[in-house]
Structure 1
């Protein structure tokens, strides 16, 4: 049997125990994007009460990592564990509340492997292992998903409480390469930072690299019972909330962002997600005298030459949900610093 040292070579990408390929780019020696994808896949499956199709692949990777721990200088470093969410993966595997409904014969053995690997990591890294979440929290506003964004205490609208810092420098990126359906942000200010919208408000906008974008953060959206890939969006409010400029955009294809406060079967669980291209097929607006409110309705038709929305409905994925938890904690701390505990409770 090959040793853990050979299977976790610092010049390979680990995918399966017997399927490795050379890799030069990663300073840690591992394809961290691959590891994160594998970790997210298993954690998603456990959340559904099953082991999923990549279980054997993941356990092969963890077995190789465990064998490597017997070496004098193990190759797995703490940075790879942190970025690949391997600490969260082994914690989920050993969590009795996440046991699959139909346990395979090997499951108890695999749980034991995860427990032993977790113990090895705790013994080797000691307090640094227990501080991984604190490390992620500290990095969130500096190099993480909140980089270049700060709280705007002058705004209270859901999803609009953040803004880009005045010192933020925008990167020149290719719009088409940067924004694929399923792209996810913590809030609309983060989306503005990356250039898909030009302000952090729930209003039709043109991104920094061109193209119309329609954020749907609040309101209601319904699937058409007859027409596939067609939805009706409804928004109540004052005249300023009616997006009157969309009258001139009927027939236009635009990018649609959905937020978690949107009442829609397609809304993400948390944050803001780019859901692809839609054609604005119809715009309507009416004032209701009895309710003293305006109502806007839009009919949106999803462009068919793109992946179905089912392909990324799982977004945000477990690692992104981890970041959402840190973001919520950070947001609370920002309010407490500004307003104090009494202001936060009010």
Structure 2
């Protein structure tokens, strides 16, 4: 064998031994790699498993835009997704529905005030709170829920009222336990448990688990919004008040007038010749609501801000019931009574007996059907009877109108009675504050105090009258 062949054979055997030794080497553990990539991969695998098994994530993914829920998942292109979103299960951004959020907020706030409960929308509310908290935590510092959506849907009011309700119910329950008489919330939102016959009180037993979790989410979301928006969050009411008089606001094209001769308000508007957009599209559905009668005049519903029957721009007679009294006779029939001078007797309605007219009700009307604030369109009514007589001793006229409501296929009487909603009452409170500030600025502190005292006396009188009528009605039944 030549020297060259011997060298080639030795090299071949050396390579074979080296390859064999590499085949039997033990693989290096991924978790202790120097660059940390193996550890990140292991964590990513474990996070993905946790996300799949998490019931919360499954619940959020199942929320789609086809439902009436206030948000839906919106997946951006995969290339545009941040790494954190992909690592958390691939969920896209949330697409918030302002109208649905406002409806949810109004529903929950109404139930808290009248039924001492979150109401039937507790599942929707819980889903929203979970989604909003996850949005605050997992959007890489860029949450999708902005301040304008919170302001429009009154979400700041919703969180505040839930916290106030929980604190009030806890105080009541603690007092009941201290007296040895556990109390229960009327609709099952809260329950009380006193340990040791009332001697030991545990605040975590005042509410069921679902409500305690909900309140915890509310607190965390409230803190997150205050931390993110800072002074913008605390100044939302000021911004809402400024928006009332801007284009699209409830007081657009309406100005304050301190020299108004009538006592129903101090606002005026310039009525133009063109037909109102609302009336032109026949969008005056029962339940339409205004801050005052002047706003209804601006939209063409009535022809004057005075309390008198007028015809709108489509020659439909509208009767505003802003003062006086109204007795509910039966299902759709009521009797309106008003006393005053001859000019207040609506003589023109004699020719409307048997015909249908539109009826507005104002908050100053003493009636169980009157709105809590502002002026509301209650639909079409038929004038069944008109009567007017003079008290010679007092020289006072008295009008009696029997009105029968025409059933509406669009809105029920119960739905009309729920208006104004909490979000509309928010605007009403801002409107009253705005009017008070204008009176103080233009007429002085004395006029402002007189106006405020008169408003409070009227409110107390109306509430007393309403309680008496409701008590009398319940006693008769």
Does the pair score TM above 0.5? yes
1:158-197 Cα offsets, whole Å, 9 max, x none, are: 4343211478987533456421111111100111112211
Alignment of 1:138 with 2:251, yes or no, is no
Alignment of 1:154 with 2:220, yes or no, is no
Alignment of 1:33 with 2:99, yes or no, is yes
> Quick one: which of 300, 316, 325 aligns to 2:403?
300
Distance 1:295 1:211, change over 3 A: same
The equivalent of 1:184 in structure 2 is 289
Alignment of 1:242 with 2:345, yes or no, is yes
Cα distance in 1 for partners of 2:320, 2:295 equals 13
Please report how far the alpha carbon of residue 263 of structure 1 lies from its aligned counterpart in structure 2 after TM superposition.
0.7
Q: Is the 8 A contact 2:69 2:100 kept in 1?
A: no
Moved more, 60-69 or 90-99: 90-99
Instruction: Identify unmatched segments of 5+ residues in structure 2.
Output: 1-53, 75-93, 171-184, 191-207, 451-477
Distance 1:168 1:152, change over 3 A: farther
The equivalent of 2:26 in structure 1 is none
SS of the equivalent of 2:297 reads: helix
Q: Is the 8 A contact 1:189 1:199 kept in 2?
A: yes
Please report how far the alpha carbon of residue 98 of structure 1 lies from its aligned counterpart in structure 2 after TM superposition.
6.3
Alignment of 1:284 with 2:419, yes or no, is no
The equivalent of 2:177 in structure 1 is none
Q: How does 1:171-320 map to 2 (within 5 A)?
A: 171-174=276-279, 177-224=282-329, 227-306=330-409, 307-320=411-424
Cα distance in 1 for partners of 2:95, 2:240 equals 21
Q: How does 1:63-82 map to 2 (within 5 A)?
A: 63-70=130-137, 71-72=139-140, 73-82=142-151
Please report how far the alpha carbon of residue 8 of structure 1 lies from its aligned counterpart in structure 2 after TM superposition.
12
Query: How many residues in Structure 1 have an aligned counterpart in Structure 2?
Result: 336
SS of the equivalent of 2:444 reads: helix
The equivalent of 1:53 in structure 2 is 120
SS of the equivalent of 2:241 reads: helix
1:27-76 Cα offsets, whole Å, 9 max, x none, are: x9532111111100000011121121111111211210111001121100
Distance 1:214 1:8, change over 3 A: farther
Identify, as 1 or 2, the structure richer in strand: 1
Cα distance in 2 for partners of 1:345, 1:308 equals 40
Distance 1:317 1:281, change over 3 A: same
Instruction: Pick 1 or 2: higher relative contact order, CA cutoff 8 A, min separation 6.
Output: 1
Cα distance in 1 for partners of 2:110, 2:306 equals 31
Instruction: Identify unmatched segments of 5+ residues in structure 1.
Output: 23-27
Q: Is the 8 A contact 1:15 1:61 kept in 2?
A: no
Q: How does 1:5-24 map to 2 (within 5 A)?
A: 15-16=68-69, 20=72
The equivalent of 2:157 in structure 1 is 88
Please report how far the alpha carbon of residue 3 of structure 1 lies from its aligned counterpart in structure 2 after TM superposition.
6.1
Cα distance in 2 for partners of 1:80, 1:296 equals 48
Cα distance in 1 for partners of 2:160, 2:397 equals 50
Q: Is the 8 A contact 2:326 2:336 kept in 1?
A: yes
Alignment of 1:97 with 2:168, yes or no, is yes
Q: Is the 8 A contact 1:288 1:294 kept in 2?
A: yes
Cα distance in 2 for partners of 1:135, 1:106 equals 34
Q: Is the 8 A contact 1:220 1:263 kept in 2?
A: yes
Q: Is the 8 A contact 2:271 2:298 kept in 1?
A: no
TM-score under structure 2 normalisation?
A: 0.65
Q: Is the 8 A contact 1:32 1:80 kept in 2?
A: yes
The equivalent of 1:25 in structure 2 is none
Cα distance in 1 for partners of 2:377, 2:301 equals 9
Cα RMSD for the two superposed structures: 2.7
Cα distance in 2 for partners of 1:296, 1:21 equals 59
Cα distance in 2 for partners of 1:63, 1:94 equals 17
The equivalent of 2:444 in structure 1 is 340
Cα distance in 1 for partners of 2:350, 2:107 equals 42
